[in-house]
Amino acid sequence: MEASVSLTVAVPVRERVDWQSVVEALDEVVLLLNSRYVVTYASPAVRNRLGYVPDAVTGQALGDLVHPDDLRAALRSMAQVALGSPVQHTMRVRRDDGEYVQLEWSLTCTGDDRVGSGEVLVLVGRDGTTRASLEERLVTADQRYRTLLSALTEAVVFLDGQLRVEEVNDGAAALLGITPHDLLGHRWFDALDVWDENGRPLTSDSPFAVSLHTDPARHELWRSIQRGDGQRVLVLCRWMPIGGGSAGYRGYVLTLQDAVASRGLGATLPQQRRQARTAAGLTPREHEVLERLADGQDAMEIARLLELSVYSVRGHIKSLMRKLGVHSQLQAVVVAARRGIVDVVGGRDD
């Protein structure tokens, strides 16, 4: 046999709860206003928030409490509430000491009048100073961040978790020869032509690009990148993951360093270049092959241009790599560029 339902349970909750006790226990300021916008009830929280005894607020008009500069917007919000739409509104309210404090208010209207006559406006206010202060600090921090980013001489790119470009500083735009607008929102490996140290093109589906998602870690790698003007530049790319997010990282900070600090300077110094070539122990033919490698040509193309066999060219490449102490053709170009032996943007001296 089922147990009988108590009459107490059957009575609506609103009939059984002492709502005034609930309101008085809240930390938020609760004000009830009549149709003339006069306070008919003030919760005890006004003492802590505004410094008033609740009875001192009762009977005051809204215009006596709200900052004059905020009153017009407050009245507009009141009118909107009267039409039946709850409103969130921020306004400054005068404290008992004469100072104003900013509170965030929830405004509603009820016809259940137990404290007066007609409709009642209910205002629930909570401290908005902390939020406003945080927003101001965020704006200041963002301004400082952008100023710092623009002041850096190093090229810096911010990417999100999908390797989409979020931010590009002036140094990166200059190095890549492309405007930030053409990069923002695009995936890094889709927006640019990039090659690894062995000359293989890198795309968003390449193992390295995939590993950036699946195994976020720091990387320091030499890459060849095609600029907006069609020239290739040799760049040291430093990938640094940004922690956070559901995947454990939010994206990457990518810094780019040109292999040659002053690209155009080397072409005007043939004598220093020959001295650097001699110091490295390279023969004239090895130097010629190295210059062709710096221009992005492969062994077969070099063999055709120099009228040599591919086997001879490969032999010269192995020899110059051994003399420079490197293990790949890209590393050979990097080291040679650093020593001033070749210019990675052209300008051979015969």
Tell me the whole-structure pTM to 2 decimals: 0.47
Q: Which of 101-110, 125-134, 259-268 has the lowest mean pLDDT?
A: 259-268
- What pLDDT is attached to residue 27? 79
Given pLDDT bands bounded at 50, 70 and 90, which one contains residue 154?
Answer: confident
Whats the size of the chain, residue-wise?
350
Say yes or no: do domains 7-128 and 152-258 share a fold.
yes
Q: Is the pLDDT of residue 275 over 70?
A: no
Q: Which of 71-75, 84-88, 176-180, 200-204 has the lowest mean pLDDT?
A: 84-88
Report which of 341, 296, 347 is spatially closest to residue 320, judged by C-alpha positions: 341
Q: Which of 12-21, 197-206, 226-235, 252-261 has the lowest mean pLDDT?
A: 12-21
- What pLDDT is attached to residue 270? 63
Task: Tell the CATH topology of 266-339.
Answer: Arc Repressor Mutant, subunit A (1.10.10)
CATH architecture, domain 152-258: 2-Layer Sandwich (3.30)
Long-range contacts of 130-137 (CB under 8 A, 24+ apart): 131/104, 132/90, 132/102
The domain limits of the chain are 7-128, 152-258, 266-339
- What pLDDT is attached to residue 7? 36
Residues 123-136, mean pLDDT to the nearest whole number: 71
Residues 335-345, mean pLDDT to the nearest whole number: 76
Task: Tell the CATH topology of 7-128.
Answer: Beta-Lactamase (3.30.450)
DSSP secondary structure letters along 241-257: EEE-STTSEEEEEEEEE
Given pLDDT bands bounded at 50, 70 and 90, which one contains residue 203?
Answer: very high
Please, which residues have CB within 8 angstroms of residue 104's CB and are 6 or more apart in sequence? 88, 89, 90, 125, 126, 127, 128, 131
Share of the chain above pLDDT 90, in %: 30
